[in-house]
Amino acid sequence: MKVVIQRVTKASVTIEGEKVASITNGLLVLLGIVDDDTQEDINWLSNKIVNLRIFEDDHQVMNKSLFDINGDIIVVSQFTLHAATKKGNRPSYIKAAKPDVAIPLYEAFVKTLEAGLGKTVQTGEFGADMKVELLNDGPVTIIIDSKNKE
């Protein structure tokens, strides 16, 4: 399970002209899932995200978490995070999990984040053509792969 986390002052997801998610002050999380991801990956990654100290304190030091700032999260499914680009110029997405595997893991990830954060997490729509708009704060962008946790 791989995520790209962006600290944002605002972010939104629009599908077919309708805004389906919108936050201010929090994290936009792009989530890529592979076939061998498990609930263990979800638990570890969710805990890491909600406790990640990447928001500035009064001294402009990144020392606060989502809890500290009462921040929000938008999660967007992003199979292209697992693109293989070694051979040729057309990315291969063979490593990305197919919907029958990915959707239940995506939904479990969102529920686990909600439990850890103690509030609703907004989402895009799995497999939809989404327009994601954000104002990256910093900019702060962090990539985490649950397969590299040790």
Q: Which two tokens stand for residue 7?
A: 């600290």
CA 15 vs CA 21, 27, 82, 122, 126: distances in Å? 10, 19, 23, 14, 11
Task: Give the span between the Cα atoms of 118 and 67, in whole angstroms.
Answer: 9
- 108: exposed, middle or buried (C-beta count within 10 Å: 0-12, 13-18, 19+)? middle
Q: Which residue has the tokens 């962008």?
A: 141
Q: Which residues are catalytic?
A: 78-80
Return the amino acid letter for 88.
G
